Amino acid sequence: MLNRLQRLLGLQTIPGVFFTSAGIAVLFVALAIPFDEAVAGFFGGLTAWVARNLGWFYIVTVSFLLVFLLGLAFSRFGSIRLGADDSRPDYSNLTWFTMLFAAGIGTILMFWGVAEPVSHFANPPFSDVLPGSARAARDAMTISLYHFGLHTWTIFAMPGLAIAYFAYRHHLPMRISSLFYPVLGDRINGPLGWAVDVIAVLGTLFGVATSLGLGTLQLNSGLNYLLGVPVSGSVQVMLIAVIASIAAVSVALGLDKGVRRLSQLNIILAGVLVAFVALVGPTVFIAEGMVQGIGDYLDALPWLAFWTQTFSETNWQRKWTLFYWAWTISWAPYVGIFIARISRGRTIREFIAGVLFAPTVFTLVWFGVFGLSAIHIEMNGQVALAAQVEQNPAVAIFAFLQALPFAQFSSSLSLIIIVIFFTTSSDSASLVIDMLTRRDDQPSLVRQRIFWAAAQGVVAASLLLAGGLDALQNVITALGLPFCILLIFMAVSLFRALRADSRGYSVDELVQGRAYDTVSSTKDVKQEHHDVS
């Protein structure tokens, strides 16, 4: 029946993945709009249960994956190239960085770059820290860097590395199900593999929709702050429609003509904004704070990585850390596939170093410039940023820029950057979802990519109408759990394949043997006998 429907619509897909994912998305929208309070209540309760019972699982999983990736980079596997042994990268380092950053957390930094440090400064998560104190300022910067530094990029790097390895080294389809080939074998092309890809599609769809929702809230707040445009659901839906239309045009142009050019433009504009704030803001304070902030972050990272707020009865970690991890995990399939798509030819060591550390350095600079400047303004009483952030975090960056010279210029530039950032997120996500829902031998149809771009906008609008920021946080915290579990299996599968690869076995031999230890030990014995001889 699904094959007949596909032929009728003129699509090129894996029907079990495409129609299941689209059907669930349509069902969610159909329920969320008329029953918004019931849907918000359901996901609110589900999120509370996940945070109360499985918050520790999110924390330990992400920290374990960071250690695992660093171990791979420094191991003998680090020299394995993602592709043929003589292959070289398709893109220069600078182009590669701009593309992965713009498709990663550019939108998030624009939203939280001012809001999060100021929020932690005014309301410290630790009971023994006085709000507005020097210790509160240090902790605010440290926690912000923890949320957007190595751990965030670990979540993106893990699926990205695994996908690139299996796609370019073993010529498997660039889908999440391919990562389980060493375990499932050819069953990745049946219902089990389809189920994995459906989870990846839905995680991507809702994760990017959350980003679009946050970006829309910020755009609406910025337009209200600067031009008096009313803050309302109808305005937000209109903004989503405009952005989805721009993303549809970009996704129709493809990766090189659309996504790459927008990414390069936006990283330049973001660099201009950072340089502007650094020059007109408290420059010396920023420089000193960034140096100290790096030390504080590295010093606190070991215990923050395993901090679960065990001895506190507040729900701070649910609202912040668990939301971030679940949100990032939910759209890790999309960012992972996108990063894999642009990373052919790099070694595993180059990939891990680039994906983990290059964006983290930019994040350190971003929070150093915006976060420290905002804290400096709050400490000196220039603008009551904390009160505005508490009331509406989406307006934070615009309220902050009003305290600096040339506020109209910088605020307008910020609006442009926000639009392009979440346009690149939407169009690159549409490209990835299309890859997840079709076979490699099927053409990528423009109408399919446009459908997924529109679907992101519709889901984002539904989430906003169902409860705004709280609904966005609750839905994504609950839906991130299935893919969090997949990340662990992903790491195990990659490690098994790398061990087989280093011993001269193909991934097919690993599948056929199944009992990997028996196969490898036999070969090791033969190798040892040869060495003795």
Q: What is the pLDDT of residues 448-464, one digit of tens each?
A: 888 888 888 888 888 77
Higher pLDDT, 263 or 204: 204
Q: Is 347 helix (H, G, I), strand (E, B) or coil?
A: strand
What band does 142 get if pLDDT is binned at 50, 70 and 90?
A: very high
Higher pLDDT, 374 or 482: 374
Inter-axis angle of helices 260-280 and 93-103, nearest 10: 80
What band does 168 get if pLDDT is binned at 50, 70 and 90?
A: very high
Higher pLDDT, 34 or 404: 404
Per-residue pLDDT at 520 exceeds 50? no
Contacts with 352 (C-beta within 8 Å, 6 or more apart), sequence order: 69, 70, 72, 73, 78, 157, 161
pTM, 2 dp: 0.85
Q: pLDDT per residue over 278-327, tens digit each?
A: 999 999 999 999 999 999 999 999 999 999 888 877 788 888 898 888 88
Per-residue pLDDT at 340 exceeds 70? yes
The residue to which tokens 């889908």 are assigned: 175
Per-residue pLDDT at 410 exceeds 60? yes
pLDDT the model gives residue 215: 77
pLDDT the model gives residue 487: 92
Per-residue pLDDT at 528 exceeds 60? no
Contacts with 230 (C-beta within 8 Å, 6 or more apart), sequence order: 224
| AA identity, residue 172 | L
pLDDT the model gives residue 46: 81
Tokens standing for 491?
């790491």
Taken in order 115, 212, 152, 345, the sign of the CA dihedral is negative
Query: Once rounded to an integer, what is the mean pLDDT over residues 390-401?
Result: 86
pLDDT the model gives residue 510: 67
Per-residue pLDDT at 65 exceeds 90? yes
**Cα–Cα distance between 283 and 296 in angstroms, integer?**
20
Tokens standing for 293?
């902030």
Per-residue pLDDT at 523 exceeds 50? no
DSSP state letter for 177:
G
Mean pLDDT (the chain) is 84
If we measure between CA atoms, which residue out of 243, 234, 241, 236 comes closest to residue 221?
236
For Cα atoms 459, 113, 243, give the angle at the middle one, nearest 5 degrees.
30
Q: Would you tell me how many other CB atoms lie within 10 Å of the CB of residue 412?
A: 14
pLDDT the model gives residue 518: 40
Least confident of 37-41, 329-333, 379-383: 37-41
Contacts with 219 (C-beta within 8 Å, 6 or more apart), sequence order: 239, 415, 418, 419
Report residue 371 CA to chain centroid gap: 21
Instruction: For residue 1, give Cα distances in angstroms to 15, 93, 192.
Output: 9, 47, 19
Tokens standing for 123?
């309301």
**Cα–Cα distance between 63 and 61 in angstroms, integer?**
6
Query: Once rounded to an integer, what is the mean pLDDT over residues 469-481?
Result: 70
If we measure between CA atoms, which residue out of 273, 246, 129, 218 comes closest to residue 468?
218
**Cα–Cα distance between 158 and 375 in angstroms, integer?**
34
DSSP state letter for 314:
-
Query: Once rounded to an integer, what is the mean pLDDT over residues 242-253?
Result: 75
pLDDT the model gives residue 470: 67
Higher pLDDT, 100 or 182: 182
**Topology adopted by domain 2-502:** Amino acid/polyamine transporter I (1.20.1740)
What band does 480 get if pLDDT is binned at 50, 70 and 90?
A: confident
The answer to whether 282 and 137 are in contact (CB under 8 A) is no
pLDDT the model gives residue 469: 58
Report residue 517 CA to chain centroid gap: 35
The answer to whether 367 and 360 are in contact (CB under 8 A) is no
Tokens standing for 282?
């408290």
For Cα atoms 363, 472, 241, give the angle at the middle one, nearest 5 degrees.
90
**Cα–Cα distance between 113 and 106 in angstroms, integer?**
10
**Cα–Cα distance between 379 and 282 in angstroms, integer?**
12
Query: Once rounded to an integer, what is the mean pLDDT over residues 90-108?
Result: 73
Instruction: For residue 277, give Cα distances in angstroms to 117, 230, 370, 429.
Output: 16, 28, 7, 30
